[in-house]
Amino acid sequence: MNIEDLGLIPYEKAWQKQKEAVSRVIAGGQECLFFCEHPPVLTLGRSASRKNLLVPPDELANRGIRVLDVDRGGDVTLHAPGQLVAYPILDLNRRGRDLHRYLHQLEEVGIDFLRGFGIVSVRVSGKTGVWVKDRKLIAIGIGVRQWVAYHGIGINVKTDLSLFSLIRPCGLFEGVTSIEQCIGNAVDMAEAKDRLGKIFRDDFGVQ
């Protein structure tokens, strides 16, 4: 698995890189994992309802926050600086073609990652993602083309949580949290990416 850190990158550019990587994997190329952060953007998945946007579009535009319809599953979510986004481009043809299992594996990656910070997190039945008590810390949404998966997970490391007041995250009424809020200490993003990369390699059994 090739791991590439894209840094702070507009959502559309990272999305395009994912689609190009999907085409390479379909053609037999190497699986990869992109790490990045995004400027503030709201994305709506295939099952999203615009009722979960809690601020009028003109106000969002005035604040420089774009709203994009994207080709992943799920409802509305927020990306912003301080959120570690991981986009694994993985061939599910060699992994059983089981989307539920794959989502479960992504949740396990998140749980293992948070455990390294001393954070106890859980799954919640019927709600994709990873939770700390009654607050969501990791959002998960995927897309699949010819059984090659893309999109992935967003981990609130040091995200400005006030931005989530713009939406009803994933259509849910529960709150959100971040790693820094949970542990009360600053987190180095480079170290977080390195740790997450190792967990991806271990959990998915790749070099």
Give the pair of three-digit tokens for residue 85: 């986004």
pLDDT of residue 57 exceeding 90, the answer is: no
Question: What is the span of the domain harbouring residue 53?
Answer: 2-204
pLDDT of residue 196 exceeding 70, the answer is: yes
Q: Distance of alpha carbon 189 from its chain centroid, rounded? A: 15
* Domain CATH for 19: 3.30.930.10
Query: What pLDDT score does 173 carry?
Result: 64
Percent of the chain with pLDDT strictly greater than 70: 98
pLDDT of residue 171 exceeding 90, the answer is: no
Mean pLDDT for the stretch of residues 172-176: 77
CA distance 198 to 194: 6
Give the residue numbers annotated as catalytic, written as ranges.
Answer: 170
Q: Distance of alpha carbon 106 from its chain centroid, rounded? A: 10
Mean pLDDT for the stretch of residues 36-48: 94
pLDDT of residue 90 exceeding 80, the answer is: yes
**List of E strands, 92-161:** 122-124, 127-132, 135-145, 148-156
Contact 180, 119 (CB under 8 A): no
Q: What is the pLDDT of residues 111-136, one digit of tens each?
A: 999 999 999 999 998 889 999 998 99
Q: Distance of alpha carbon 68 from its chain centroid, rounded? A: 15
Domains of the chain: total: 1
Cβ-based neighbour number of residue 141 at 10 Å: 24
Cβ-based neighbour number of residue 179 at 10 Å: 25
Give the pair of three-digit tokens for residue 93: 């043809």
pTM of the entire predicted model? 0.94
Query: What pLDDT score does 170 carry?
Result: 67
Angle between helices 99-115 and 189-204 (to 10 degrees): 140
Mean pLDDT for the stretch of residues 143-148: 97
Give the SS3 label for residue 180. helix
pLDDT of residue 183 exceeding 80, the answer is: yes
Query: What pLDDT score does 15 carry?
Result: 97
Average pLDDT, the chain: 94
